[in-house]
């Protein structure tokens, strides 16, 4: 089956109160691990490529790897998405290259500029059958968000979200309710602003929301990295039950990168320490690929609820 857009995926996810995982990819083993997990669990999946991943792997290589995934797993609904597109030109390039979904991230811009840039991408994308995700509110600065005042300054404003969606025609919206990127998300107890999420959903019924920075930073893998020569002290992510809860309130796409990085790195670190004479990349990258697959199966079956939805 060819690549799909996220339109049908999100409609089913919204109605079924589950979320589709959007997993960051940048090499063959990661793509294979994710797609194999989706195939085994019969789950739809979003493969997302950041500007950095595109630069690292080269756009043509990534495209051909994803084409190979479509051949190997024809029964799986796969969308190919640009993660955190930062310009109209980048969005246009990947749309012309066959991506079925793009994110234009104008969240750092003044509000009217975010609207203008998003609108420009939406016009180009929709004319070519491609869907667009935008972002409103700022993910960074969770540590500032303890006080209500600063929450209001950085988290997504519900009324502004309605205005933004209406004026841009965007297909989904990434919101800020307390998550952040990377392995250090919370200084104290993890907390998401569910009241804000419910208010946004109430004002935008049926509209798919997106949660970035949604890795759990699972202790087992942080500990594995640290036990085998890594140095990632005090890492902390979003508890799994909070992510499952979010999918009850219109969150249809959950972005996961850090948990894949931790799983792959932990497994490879352990393998190389346990097998000091091994210098065959197929052995340790194979272990890394298996760790990616296991992690994605865990996410699909225990957190997202997207198994058996294709
Ligand atoms: O949200 C960002 C993703 O984790 C991708 O990170 O820009 O290092 O590829 P990256
Ligand atoms: P994590 O760093 O929590 O995995 O978030 C990834 C993400 O939001 C990619 O856009
Ligand atoms: Zn993100």
CATH superfamily label, 7-304: Aldolase class I (3.20.20.70)
DSSP run (H or E) holding 104: strand 101-104
Q: Does the beta carbon of 181 sit less than 6 angstroms from any atom of ligand 1?
A: yes
Q: How many CB atoms lie within 10 A of CB 265?
A: 18
> What is the Å distance from ligand 3's center to 181 Cα?
6
CA 256, 260, 266, 267 torsion-angle sign = positive
- Give the binding-site residues of ligand 2, using a 6 Å CB cut-off: 24, 83-84, 181-182, 212-215, 255-259
- Show the tokens assigned to 153: 């300054």
User: 58 CA distance to ligand 3 centroid (A)?
Assistant: 20
Tokens coding 251: 């969150």
Ligand closest in space to the Cα of 53: 1
Q: What is the pTM of this model?
A: 0.97
Phi, psi of 231 (to 5 degrees): -145, 80
Ligand approaching nearest to the C-alpha of 50: 1
For residue 258, the ligand 1 atom closest to its alpha carbon is 4
- List residues bridging with 22 in a β-sheet: 46, 255
CB atoms within 10 A of CB 201: 21
Give the 3-state secondary structure of residue 304. Answer: helix
Q: Please say if the pLDDT value at position 163 is more than 80.
A: yes
Query: Tokens 């840039």 identify what position?
Result: 117
Residue 226 scores a pLDDT above 80: yes
| Residue 149 pLDDT | 58
Query: What is the per-residue pLDDT for 148?
Result: 54
153: confidence class by pLDDT, cuts 50, 70, 90 = confident
- Asked if the model's pLDDT at residue 176 lies above 50, the reply is yes
Using the predicted structure, report yes or no on whether residue 77 has a pLDDT greater than 90: yes
Task: Report how far apart, in Å, the C-alpha atoms of 242 and of each of 24, 33, 71, 219, 251 are.
Answer: 21, 25, 35, 16, 11
Half-sphere exposure of 2 (CA within 13 A, CB side): 5
| Residue 99: DSSP 8-state | -
Which atom of ligand 2 approaches the CA of 211 most closely?
8
- Sign of the Cα torsion 241, 172, 129, 110 reads negative
* Distance of CA 277 from the midpoint of ligand 1 (Å): 33
| The predicted structure's pLDDT at residue 139 | 87
84 lines ligand 1 (CB under 6 A): yes
Token pair, residue 100, equals 């079925």
Active site positions, annotated? 83
Q: Which residue has the higher pLDDT, 152 or 295?
A: 295
Distance CA 292, CA 283 (A): 14
Mutate to test the pocket of ligand 2, among 19, 22, 24, 51 (most ligand atoms within 8 A of CB): 24
Identify whether the C-beta of residue 156 lies closer than 8 Å to the C-beta of residue 175: yes
d(Cα 75, Cα 309) in Å, to the nearest integer?
11
User: Nearest ligand to the C-alpha of residue 52?
Assistant: 1
Question: In the predicted model, what is the mean pLDDT of the chain?
Answer: 96
């Amino acid at each position: 089956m060819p690549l799909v857009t996220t339109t049908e995926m999100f409609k089913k996810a919204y109605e079924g109160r589950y979320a589709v995982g959007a997993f960051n990819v940048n090499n063959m083993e990661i793509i294979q691990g994710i797609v194999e997990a989706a195939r085994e669990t019969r789950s739809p999946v979003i493969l997302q490529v950041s500007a950095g991943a595109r630069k690292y792997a080269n756009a043509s290589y990534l495209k051909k790897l994803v084409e190979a995934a479509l051949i190997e797993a024809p029964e799986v609904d796969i969308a190919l998405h640009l993660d955190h597109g930062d310009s109209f030109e980048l969005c246009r390039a990947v749309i012309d290259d066959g991506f079925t979904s793009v994110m234009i991230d104008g969240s750092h811009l003044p509000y009217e500029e975010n609207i203008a840039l998003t609108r420009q991408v939406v016009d180009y994308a929709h004319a070519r059958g491609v869907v667009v995700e935008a972002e409103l509110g700022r993910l960074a600065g969770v540590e500032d968000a303890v006080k209500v005042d600063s929450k209001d300054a950085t988290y997504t404003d519900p009324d502004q979200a309605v205005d933004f969606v209406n004026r841009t025609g965007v297909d989904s919206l990434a919101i800020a309710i307390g998550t952040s990127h990377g392995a250090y998300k919370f200084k104290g107890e993890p907390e998401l602003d569910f009241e804000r999420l419910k208010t946004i959903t109430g004002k935008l019924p049926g509209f798919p929301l997106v949660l970035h920075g949604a890795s759990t930073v699972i202790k087992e893998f942080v500990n594995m990295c640290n036990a085998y020569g890594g140095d990632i002290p005090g890492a902390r992510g979003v508890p799994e039950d909070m992510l499952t809860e979010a999918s009850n309130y219109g969150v249809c796409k959950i972005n996961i990168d850090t948990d894949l990085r931790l799983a792959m790195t932990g497994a490879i670190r352990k393998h190389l320490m346990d097998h000091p004479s091994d210098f065959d990349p197929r052995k340790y990258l194979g272990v890394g690929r298996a760790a990616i697959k296991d992690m994605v199966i865990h996410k699909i079956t225990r957190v997202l609820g997207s198994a058996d939805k294709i």
